[in-house]
Structure formats: C-alpha cells, structure tokens
C-alpha cells in the first residue's frame, strides 16, 4: 500500500504550502537557508496576461507568427516577472491568506489549520487553569472569559480599548454622547468589567487626538518618501462650508486636513493659502513628494490651478476628469435638442408617479415576477441626480429594461393602474398621463437613442473617477470617445451628426484647456510600454520621432527644474531613441522591468485587449501641435 504524503508543521521541513508555490532552487536574496518561493496563482495570472499581449500583437501585425513564444517560454517569462518571497512556511502562509490569485482550496486549508490551532490553545488554557504552576500569564488584552470580575485592564489594554470604542462609535455613526448613557455604562460594566468606559469629553478630546496622531504615524510609515498627488474639494454641511484636502499614493487615497471656510470669501487666493499650508504639512509630517494636484473646475478651484503652478511650476495641476466628462454630458443634454429634455422629463414623470404610489409600485413588482426574463432580483427605478455622475445613463438604461413590464402593465391592468393613485379626477388624470407616455412608441425610441449615446460617456466617467486612474488612462479614454462619436459605424449606433458634433466639440474644448499640460498626457502614453509611439500619428510633426522628443524635453525641464539654457543629460537622447525603436535595453526580451510594471497594471488597463492603436491616430486633438494649443 503506498505511503501517504506527510506534511510537517515544524519550520524547515516540507509543508503543504509548497504545493502552491514554485521553487526555483535558488536561495532568497542573502538568505542561506530558505529558497525563493513564487506564488503559482501569480505566475498563472502573469502567464495569461503575456498570452493576451502576444495574441494582441499578432492581431496588430507587430509580431510575426514565426516569433510566437510557446507555452514553456511564456511560463519561464511569467516566473521571472513574479516577485519572489522568502520560502519560509509562515511567510508563504501569509501570502496565501492575502493573495486573491491563490486557489480557494489553499485558503480553506489554512483557515481550518488556524481554527485548529485556536481550539488547541483554548484547550490548553482550560487544562492549565487547575494548575497554577503551569498556567501561562494573561495576554495584553483582557476579556470577560480570561479576567477576574474585579481585575482592571492594564494601562496598555485600557488605551487600546478606548481607541477601539472610539472607532466603534464612528463606524456606527453614533454620537459620542452615547458614552454617557446609563444603559451603555451598565452594558460595559456587566460584560467588560475590567474596562473603564470613557465619557464624551474624554472621547472628543484626549482619545480622539491620540487616535489622530496614531493614524497619522501609520500613514507616514506607509507613504514616506513616495510620490503623491494632492486633492482638494469642498462641500457644505447643514451649518458650515468646508474644504478638505487629501493625497493619493500608488492608487490609494488618504485623507488630509479639513478647513471650515464658512466665514471666508470663496476666492482662489483664500483656497491657495489652505492648500499651501496642507502641502507643507504633508511634506513635513508624512514625508511625501508632491508631484501633482487635482481639483475640479468650479469657482475658486478653477482659479487655484494657475496660482499653484505659478508658485510650484514643477508640479502638474490636473482637473478632475470625472467632473469634466460629466460636463460633456451636461453640454450634450442641454444643446442637442428639445427631444432630450422632453425624454428625461417624461422619465421623471414616470419615476415620480410610481415611487409616490405604493400600490402602483407593487403592481410593477408583480408584473416583474411574471416576466419571462427571470431576473435574479426585482428592479426598480433609478433617479438621475446631477451631482451623481453616470446616473443619467443608469436611469435611462433602467427605464429601457423596464419597458416590456411597463407596457404589459399598462395594457393588462389599465383599469387598476388608473385608480392606483387615488379616485379623484385629477389623480386619475395623472395616472392616465403616465399610461399614455408608456404607450407612446416615440418615447421608447428616444430612450434607446439616449441610452446608446450616454453609455460611452458613463463608462468614461467611471474610468476617470477611479482612485488608480492615470494620465494615460485619461488620454486613451478621450481618444476612444472621439473615435466613437466621429465614426459612423456599420450598425449606425452614433449616426446623429448634430449630436456627435456637440460631444466632439466639448471633448476638444476640454483638451485645449489643458494648454501646456497636454505634454504630460502625451508622454504618459508614450512611456507606457504597451503603447509607446504606436498610439500617435507619425505624420504629424509634433508627434513624430523628433516631435515627441521635444515634448519629452519640455516635460523633463519642468519636472526636474532644468533651466532653458542648460543642456539635457547626455544619455537622454540615446535612451529615447532606443525606447522609441524598441532596441538596446528596451527590446521585448530585455524589457523585464517595464514588462513587470505593465503586468502589474494590466488589469487596470482593460483597453489593452481591445485597443487598436491605428484607430487613435485618427484622433484630431492628438494631431494639433501641443505648443500651439
């Protein structure tokens, strides 16, 4: 009978965790004991991305069939691109726990193992409780099940309890005054007898200040020495106007500071003072390097960008592109003709009437249950809100999805629907008006057209408002939109020429408003290893081989603060030519570092499997010399 494979838990021997890692046989960095371990899930993911890239290059004609790499070669390249970890059991298990690409079987096994360890530890505590000589000392955190009723928390445990209690109130959106409630005090005295419950005054002063310092120190340890993009936005509460700054490091958002500006005049100069103060605080306290600043284009924020660049010319002042694309939607809705406003108004009439009369809404749900489409869950209306980007599209799309159900309801249960809002004549007339809209074929035709036209803009806004959105994402998105609305497709999706002209004009207006900042977007795309110069029209001088180098020099001088009279670094032009041609250290084979970066961001840039660079060369705003815009 074959021997079963034995998995040892003693460190240094073979563990079941190695079934989910690749062992190259090499030692990990300077470690003389442990090997390099590479996650098989990460390797499979890299291998799939490499296959997709190779397939796309073959489709575009940039890779010849005889140069295709086989599975073994792709596997080796994926292994090289995967970051190794120390082949120690506890390190590998931590990776299994946090990595989303590891098989679920490994996570289940690890979870079962941890439960077993906790069970064993609990049993040991129970066994040792009868033998004081063998009992272990209590841990730093005391609970009802381990602490005598009258034994108080240690100072360290009490401080941690106070911080956690503060967090509990915050996440539950409960006022700190709740800590003074008699029943809350009774609850904690009964179930957490060792803890001293802080009152509202302690929570809102000492404990809150300590937690702010604790969080600030934690953020500083995460972001120190890294490049960051700052942000500022304002809003109004019930009684105050506030401005809040923040920062984005590596696609992760961190809050900055909040300023109450109720008594201030809303000017760009006043906002600049708050921003400069916060930049100084971020640099001094968090140790970051500010390279860009993002804000919307409303009022004082729009005037902030030129003032900030005048004081700090090496940074990039970025408009919020989620906001910009929402303004494109605004221009389209208000300038493309009365049919759009009439259609949206009729949508609002239907939504308001059904949501205001529960009987009518209940009848709609009943018809949905009878619908042959068999939805996974019942659908209701979505109301468009101007401050919520993409909701106009979502509202129209949901109306289109409910078309059949509404029409069936208007025909089959017309008499009941007429009385669903009440029996008075004006109430019956209102219901009859809703039914007539539902029965109007031209209304649904307009809904379909509006849905088609708003969909690309909604997708673009969703891309632009992401915390990990980069400048190359923005330019590729603008090019995609321009191509969609300037090309009459075979199926005639965007065949309304007047509507197309309004959207294209709005896009070009926002691109032109960038002025010299266009250079950053162009170079961001050029320096993306999956695009490089293939994205641009080589026939346009400013985007040709020589033109792109001129753009690169302008960006280099601005970022690194090089005066106009100073020469460029001696190796810059040579490196540029090699990168442009894909030679030297920038060949596909010798491109391991940048390929690794591309693999890391491949899931963010989904357009890689759909984008045809030749399409974007037709993008007119990319044919205008950046220096002339």
Residue 362 within a domain: yes
| pLDDT bracket for residue 494 (50, 70, 90) | confident
Residue 390: beta bridge partners?
none
- Against a cut of 0.95, is the pTM above it? no
Task: Give the whole-angstrom CA distance, residue 194 versus residue 157.
Answer: 10
Q: What is the tens place of the pLDDT at every residue in 139-159?
A: 454 444 444 456 788 899 999
Instruction: Give one DSSP letter per residue of 16-46, joined into a string.
Output: GGGGGEEEEEEE-TT-SSPEEEEEHHHHHHH
Residues 159 and 273 in one domain: no
pLDDT band (50, 70, 90) for residue 597: low
- Is there a domain that residue 37 lies in? yes
pLDDT > 90? residue 244: yes
Condensed to tens digits (0 to 9), the pLDDT of residues 560-571 reads 999 988 999 989
- Distance, in Å, from the CA atom of 6 to the CA atom of 17, rounded to the nearest integer, reads 12
For the chain, percent of residues with pLDDT exceeding 70: 84
**End residue of a domain, out of 295, 319, 343:** 319
Residue 390's H or E segment, with its range, is: none
How would you write 506-565 as a 3-class SS string?
Answer: HHHHHHHCCHHHHHHHHHHHHCCCCCHHHHCCCCCHHHCHHHHHHHHHHHHHHHHCCCCC
Mean pLDDT of the chain: 84
Residues 21 and 97 in one domain: yes
Q: Which residues pair with 53 in a beta bridge?
A: none
319, 350, 383 - which closes a domain: 319
Within a domain: 284: yes
Q: Which two tokens stand for residue 413?
A: 């249960």
**Do residues 167 and 282 share a domain?**
no
Question: What's the domain count of the chain?
Answer: 5
Q: Does 174 share its domain with 201?
A: yes
What pLDDT, on a 0 to 100 scale, did the predictor assign at position 609? 36
Could you tell me if 488 and 382 lie in one domain?
Answer: no
Q: Could you tell me which residue, 182 or 488, shows the higher pLDDT?
A: 182
Q: Do 424 and 552 lie in a common domain?
A: no
Does 263 share its domain with 369?
no
- Name the residue range of residue 361's domain: 330-454
pLDDT digits (tens, 9 = 90+) for 263-272: 998 899 999 9
> Angle 11-13-19 (CA atoms, 0-180°, nearest 5)?
105
Average pLDDT of the segment spanning 607-623:
42
Is 66 in the same domain as 88?
yes
Indicate if 431 and 499 belong to the same structural domain: no
Identify whether the C-beta of residue 448 lies closer than 8 Å to the C-beta of residue 495.
no
What is the reported pLDDT for 9? 37
- Residue 119 lies inside a defined structural domain of this protein: no
pLDDT confidence of residue 534: 86
Query: 336 and 502 in contact (C-beta within 8 Å)?
Result: yes
**pLDDT tens digits for 426-460?**
999 999 999 999 999 999 999 999 999 999 999 99
Same domain, 57 and 173: no
In a domain, 115, yes or no: no
In a domain, 132, yes or no: no
Shared domain for 428 and 367, answered yes or no, is: yes
> What local confidence, expressed as pLDDT, does residue 72 receive?
87
- Give Cα 383 to chain centroid, integer Å: 24
Question: Is residue 25 over pLDDT 80?
Answer: yes
**CATH at residue 309:** 3.30.420.10
The answer to whether 231 and 295 have CB atoms below 8 angstroms apart is yes
pLDDT at 120: 61
Query: Is 205 domain-assigned?
Result: yes
The pLDDT of residue 377: 78
Residue that terminates a domain, selected from 290, 319, 348? 319
Same domain for 51 and 165, yes or no, is no
Is position 313 within any domain? yes
Highest-confidence segment of 75-79, 348-352, 484-488: 348-352
């Amino acid at each position: 009978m074959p021997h079963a494979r034995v998995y040892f838990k003693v460190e240094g021997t073979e563990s079941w965790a190695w079934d989910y890692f690749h062992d190259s046989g090499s030692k990990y960095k300077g470690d003389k004991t442990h090997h390099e371990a590479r996650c098989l899930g990460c390797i499979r993911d890299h291998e799939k991305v490499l296959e997709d890239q190779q397939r796309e290059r073959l489709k575009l004609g940039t890779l010849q069939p005889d140069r295709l790499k086989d599975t073994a070669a792709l596997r080796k390249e994926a292994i090289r691109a995967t970051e190794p970890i120390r082949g120690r059991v506890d390190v590998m298990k931590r990776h299994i726990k946090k990595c989303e690409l590891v098989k679920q079987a490994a996570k289940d096994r690890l979870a079962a193992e941890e439960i077993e360890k906790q069970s064993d530890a609990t049993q040991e505590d129970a066994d040792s409780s009868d033998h004081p000589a063998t009992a272990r000392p209590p841990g730093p955190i005391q609970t009802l099940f381990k602490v005598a009723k009258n034994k108080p928390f240690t100072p360290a445990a009490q401080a941690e309890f106070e911080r956690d209690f503060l967090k509990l109130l915050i996440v539950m959106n409960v006022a700190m005054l709740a800590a003074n409630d008699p029943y809350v005090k009774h609850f904690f005295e009964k179930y957490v007898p060792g803890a001293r419950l802080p009152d509202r005054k302690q929570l809102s002063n000492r404990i809150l200040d300590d937690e702010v310092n604790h969080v600030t120190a934690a953020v500083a340890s995460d972001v120190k020495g890294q490049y960051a993009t700052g942000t500022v936005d304002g809003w109004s509460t019930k009684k105050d106007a506030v401005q809040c700054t923040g920062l984005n490091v590596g696609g992760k958002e961190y809050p900055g500071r909040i300023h109450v500006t109720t008594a201030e005049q809303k000017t760009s100069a006043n906002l600049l003072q708050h921003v400069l103060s916060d930049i100084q605080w971020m640099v001094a306290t968090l140790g970051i390097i500010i390279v860009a600043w993002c804000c919307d284009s409303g009022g004082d924020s729009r005037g902030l960008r030129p003032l900030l660049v005048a004081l700090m010319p090496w940074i990039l002042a970025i408009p919020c592109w989620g906001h910009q694309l929402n303004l494109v939607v605004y221009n389209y809705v208000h300038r493309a003709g009365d049919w759009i406003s009439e259609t949206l108004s009729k949508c609002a009439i239907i939504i308001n009437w059904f949501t205001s009369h529960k009987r009518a809404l209940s009848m709609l749900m009943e018809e949905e249950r009878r619908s042959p489409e068999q939805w996974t869950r019942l659908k209701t209306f979505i109301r468009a809100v101007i401050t919520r980007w993409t909701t106009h599209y979502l509202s129209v799309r949901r109306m289109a999805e409910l078309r059949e159900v509404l029409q069936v309801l208007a025909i089959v249960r017309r008499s009941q629907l007429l009385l669903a809002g009440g029996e008075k004549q004006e109430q019956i007339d209102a219901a009859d008006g809703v039914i007539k809209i539902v029965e109007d074929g031209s209304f649904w035709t307009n809904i379909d057209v509006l849905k088609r036209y708003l969909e690309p803009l909604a997708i673009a806004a969703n891309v632009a408002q992401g915390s990990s959105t980069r400048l190359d994402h923005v330019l590729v998105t603008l090019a995609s939109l321009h191509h969609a609305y300037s090309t009459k497709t075979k199926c005639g999706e965007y065949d309304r020429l007047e509507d197309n002209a309004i959207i294209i004009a709005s896009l070009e207006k926002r691109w032109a408003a960038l002025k010299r900042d266009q250079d950053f977007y162009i170079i961001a795309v050029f320096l993306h290893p999956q695009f490089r110069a293939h994205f641009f029209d080589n026939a346009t001088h400013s985007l040709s081989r020589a033109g792109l180098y001129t753009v690169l020099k302008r960006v280099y001088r601005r970022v690194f603060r090089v005066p106009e009279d100073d020469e460029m670094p001696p190796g810059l032009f040579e490196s540029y030519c090699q990168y442009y041609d894909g030679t030297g250290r920038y060949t596909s084979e010798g491109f391991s570092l940048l390929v690794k970066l591309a693999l890391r961001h491949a899931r963010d840039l989904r357009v890689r499997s759909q984008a045809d660079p030749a399409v974007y060369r037709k993008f007119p705003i990319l044919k205008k010399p950046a220096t002339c815009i």
